[in-house]
Amino acid sequence: MMIDAAYLLGAAGGQFAMAFGGGCVSGYGFAIRTAYRAVKARLDKVEEDARLERANCRMEILVLTTRLRELEDMLLGRRPLGFFSSAPVADDLRAEREIPSEGEK
């Protein structure tokens, strides 16, 4: 069945065009909102994971820097043996700042 060109271009042609345009707009809006929600949820999770990873890296850097200073002091004889403070452990630093450890994520 062929659609008569007079139907598309005639008095009902404007109604057909408006119905088609309205369907396109509503479909596009639905697709964008659905995709946006999915992408936004994933992006929020990635940002939270990155924030926790940065905090964990800062803790590890602090622990390693402290340990390096103590080893340099020991090797260079800056302090007598036995006068070293215990190096902070990453778990202790996480507990002070209330950052979940690797197993609590």
CA 91 to CA 28: how far, in whole Å?
Answer: 49
Confidence of residue 70 (pLDDT cuts 50, 70, 90): confident
CA 51 to CA 85: how far, in whole Å?
Answer: 30
Give the pLDDT confidence of 86-99 residue by residue, as tens digits.
Answer: 555 556 656 666 65
- pLDDT at 102 > cutoff 70: no
Our count of domains for the chain comes to 1
- Higher-scoring residue by pLDDT: 87, 47: 47
pLDDT reported for residue 93: 58
**Angle formed by the axes of helices 90-97 and 13-76, to 10°?**
130
Residue 7 lies in a domain: no
Residue 1 lies in a domain: no
Residue 53 lies in a domain: yes
Residue 94 lies in a domain: yes
pLDDT reported for residue 66: 86
Identity at 47, one-letter amino acid code: E
| Domain assignment of residue 46, given as a range | 12-104
Give the pLDDT confidence of 6-30 residue by residue, as tens digits.
Answer: 666 666 667 777 888 889 999 999 9
What global pTM score does this model have? 0.48
